[in-house]
Every structure is written in C-alpha cells, then in structure tokens.
Amino acid sequence: MTTTVLDDIGLLVTNDPTAGEGALGIVHNASVVFEGERIVSIGPAGQVADQRIDAGGRCVIPGFVDSHTHLVFAGDRGDEFAARMAGRPYEAGGIKVSVAATRVAGDDELTRLTAARRDEARRAGITTVEIKSGYGLDAHHEARCLHVAEGFTHDTTFLGAHVVPAEFEGRADDYVHHVCTDMLAAAAPHARWIDAFCEVGAFDADQCRAVLTAGRNVGLGLRLHANQLGFGPGVQLAVEMGCASADHCTYLTDDDIAALAASDTVATFLPATDFSTRQPYPDARRAIDAGVKVALATNCNPGSSYTTSMSFCIALAVRDMHMTPEEALLAATLGGARALRRTDVGHLTVGARADLVVLDAPSYTHLVYRPGVPLIALTIERGA
C-alpha cells in the first residue's frame, strides 16, 4: 500500500500528552506518515514515504469530531431565524416545519442535500460526524432519513422523540409508544444510537426514559438532548441512564454538574445554538473546573444552528464560555470522540485514523484569534 508523509509541520497537535507538550501533546517540527487510512509513524520533519505533502511549517491538528448534527433535512427556516433576531423566542415547534419539507423530499434530494452539508463540514475540517434523524417522525420517514445518514457515517442516531408530530397532537404518550415500538423497529437496523429531546414543549423525563430504555433493549447506545431551553430533569436522566452524552447543557444546576462530574456522561456543548437562539451560553468553566468531561459540536440543523463551522464553535467557547483555546480544541476533537465512545479518532497516534487538518496558521490559537477567517487549508480524512 502507498505511504504518504505530511511533512514540515511547524506545530503538531497529537492530543497525546505522552507524545509531546501539555494536554495537547504538542510536537514541533514534525511529520506524520500514514498508510491507507491509518497513521503508521509520527516523528521529526523529514520522514520519507512514497508521497509527500508539504505543510509549509504550519499547524496541524486532528480532524474535528462533530458528535451532534441533524444533517438530513429539506427546506429552509431562514424566516424563522430572522423573526427570532427581531425578538421572537426559539420554540421546539419549528421542528414541524422541517418535518413537513423532509417528508415530501425524494430520497435522491435528501441524499444530495446531506452530501452537500457533509462536504461543507469536511471543508471546515470535520472528519467524523454523527447524524441524527428527527425530521421524519413516522416509521417510514425516520427509517428513510437514517438510511440516508448511514451513507455518510457510522454514527447514526434515531431521534424519533424529537417533537410530537401533528398527527399525534395532544396524544404524546401514544406517540412515545409508537416511537418505542413500530418506529424503533424500522429505525434500529440503521442506527447506532438513540436520542430524545427532554424539554418543555417536547418530552418529559418519563417519556424520555421510556424511549431510551426501549432503545437500549435493542442494543442502541444512549444520548439525550438535555437542559437546552431551561433547567430541567434532562441531565440527571442522562446520568441515571448512563448516556454517552448529555447534549446542550445550557442550564446546569450545581447538582447537575456534580452528577455529570461523577459519571462517564460527556457534557456536549453546542454554542452555535445559543448564538443562533439568543440564549445564554453554558457555564463551561464551572463544569470543567468541577471535573465534567466536555465536548463541543456544531448541532448543524435548520432551526437552531445552521452552521458546519467547528472553528466558530471553538471561538464562541473561548470568547463566551471561558474555555482556554487548548480546552476548546480538545473538546472539538478528543471530546467529540469520547462523546461517541470512539477511540480511533480525535487524536494523532500510531494506529489512529489518518484524519488531519492543516491550518493556514502557525498555531491553533488562530482559530479564535482570527474569528470568521477560513483557516482550514487542507482536510485529510481516512488518509485521503
């Protein structure tokens, strides 16, 4: 098999503290050799291989791991965003607008739309992505959306419990039963994870517990949308159920933070959502200082966060959530991998997937220092 060397790396972030300086495992003047989709060697600049890519003395980081997206949808909600900027609050009910548009879109159109968003994310340095369903909301359309998603990722998530669809209006418990039975049966063959939206206006703790339990019974891993729009039971439920991740965590009590810190559940922050919905940002500093494991993700979706820019999320995390640039970069790479229970991505070590991003900058700090500037010079995903 052909070997390739990414050479003349000025500053290499490995995320392996045993390989270099600090928590990011920084190595200066380095090169990385990969064969197929795996890294086979990390060493000083000048290692030899069949092919050579010149990083030109710039900074190289692990590809971003985006552990929370809703990439499969049709339609546009730009008007809803504009109305929000004019003062209207964000409401979970907007999801139904995307459901209507997604149900009438053909398979080819949904695949084309998802491929375009996945390509956009790759150009933004995202090399691993989780994709949720949640805009189908019946057995046929949820399975269809997950089938599209599995063409783009191994980490597909069944989110039938996103909101109660119009045909079940006023019958939330009946809908939850449907999610746990017919919909789950149709979705499970296409899903690795199950998720639910635990929030006023979506599903309560008992309903979410029923959904997660049903998913666990058929072998799916668990994740939960928790504490996005207000304080509530989501985070405690995520910990109780052993979810891999509690996502959003915008409103955290001291008890929520203590529960997360004592658990393996990753708190996944989605600051582009708080930006786009004019919400407060999560208190990441308080969570990290208490020992909570954290991740950053884009939450790319048509309603609350229509962005594929992890660089933007990192900038928000540093500027408004008081994370250091090192913590934010770790959260967007290794943190995302932990939230997906993946050990093959999120770090650059021998045997890991060859997912590398060359920044048009001497240091990762520029992701924050130069906000809004496209600094992703090259994305290498699976060695290609």
160 binds ligand NIG (CB under 6 A): no
**Integer Cα distance of 100 and 165 in angstroms:** 10
Residue 172 or 350: the one with the smaller Cβ distance to ligand NIG is 172
Binder among 69, 273, 311, 333 for ligand NIG (CB under 6 A): 273
Compute the least distance from the CB of residue 294 to ligand NIG, in Å: 17
301 binds ligand NIG (CB under 6 A): yes
With CB under 6 A as the contact rule, which of the stretches 180-188, 234-242, 256-264, 300-308 interacts with ligand NIG?
300-308
Compute the least distance from the CB of residue 306 to ligand NIG, in Å: 9
Token pair, residue 189, equals: 């063959």
Residue 12 or 300: the one with the smaller Cβ distance to ligand NIG is 300
136 binds ligand NIG (CB under 6 A): no
Q: Which helix (H) or strand (E) holds 222?
A: strand 221-226
Residue 215 or 303: the one with the smaller Cβ distance to ligand NIG is 303
- Residue ranges in 175-234 that form contacts with ligand NIG under rule CB under 6 A: 197, 225, 228
Residue 30 CA, chain-centre distance (Å), reads 29
Backbone angles phi and psi of 176, in degrees to 5: -60, -40
Residue pair 7/52 in contact by the 8 Å Cβ criterion? yes
Site string for ligand NIG, 319-338 (x = CB under 6 A): --------------------
336: nearest Cα among 24, 127, 26, 40: 127
Q: Which residues of 138-164 are buried (b: 16+ CB within 10 A; e: fewer)?
A: bbebbbbbbbbbbebbebbbbbbbbbb
Q: Which residues of 93-103 are buried (b: 16+ CB within 10 A; e: fewer)?
A: ebbbbbbebbb
Compute the least distance from the CB of residue 19 to ligand NIG, in Å: 35
Compute the least distance from the CB of residue 40 to ligand NIG, in Å: 38
Compute the least distance from the CB of residue 223 to ligand NIG, in Å: 11
Token pair, residue 321, equals: 């959530």
- Residue ranges in 46-105 that form contacts with ligand NIG under rule CB under 6 A: 94-95, 98
Question: Site size for ligand NIG, by CB under 6 A?
Answer: 13
Residue pair 269/331 in contact by the 8 Å Cβ criterion? yes
User: For binding to ligand NIG (CB under 6 A), which residues are involved?
Assistant: 94-95, 98, 197, 225, 228, 273, 299, 301-305
